[in-house]
């Protein structure tokens, strides 16, 4: 019998749990109660679990890769969310980079988690 995995969910750190929830909601993630005081963040079939735990070294080395269909729209959306919101240290690449055939830009959440957008 071949073993399978039905679901894989990563636990993402947050320095300010409330701020991170507002940030991911503003990006468009649906927030629902998770397990043990966590928050599930889901969008388009992808999901991660936001936790009220922070370790600077871990947070600043944590990365999430997001494959998207319209990177230009995502870049504009991320720019608008961060420029018009109060999300602490959240920031984004000012431009989209082309690496081979792949378009890429980065967003850093309020505690330093790196979101890598690819198209």
Mind listing the pLDDT tens digit for each residue in 4-52? 999 999 999 999 999 999 999 999 999 999 999 999 999 999 999 999 9
**Inter-residue contact 89 to 97 (CB < 8 Å):** no
Structural domains in the chain, CATH included, are 11-118 (3.10.180.10)
pLDDT digits (tens, 9 = 90+) for 66-113: 999 999 999 999 999 999 999 999 999 999 999 999 999 999 999 999
CA-to-CA dists, residue 57 to 8, 88, 99, angstroms: 23, 18, 28
Please give the model's pTM, rounded to 2 decimal places.
0.94
What is the distance between the alpha carbons of residues 72 and 81, in angstroms, rounded to a whole number?
A: 14
Query: Which residues, including other chains, have CB under 8 Å from residue 52's CB and lie 6 or more apart?
Result: 14, 17, 37, 38
């Amino acid at each position: 019998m071949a073993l399978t995995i039905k679901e894989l969910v990563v636990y993402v750190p947050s320095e300010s749990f409330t701020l991170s929830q507002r940030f991911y909601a503003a990006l468009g993630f649906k927030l629902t109660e998770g397990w043990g005081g966590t928050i599930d963040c889901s969008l388009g079939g992808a999901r991660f679990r936001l936790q009220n735990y922070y370790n600077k070294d871990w947070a600043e080395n944590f990365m999430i890769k997001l494959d998207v269909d319209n990177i230009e729209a995502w870049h504009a959306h991320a720019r608008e969310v961060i420029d018009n919101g109060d999300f602490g240290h959240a920031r984004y690449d000012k431009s989209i980079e082309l690496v081979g055939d792949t378009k890429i830009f980065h967003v850093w959440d309020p505690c330093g988690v790196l979101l890598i957008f690819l198209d």
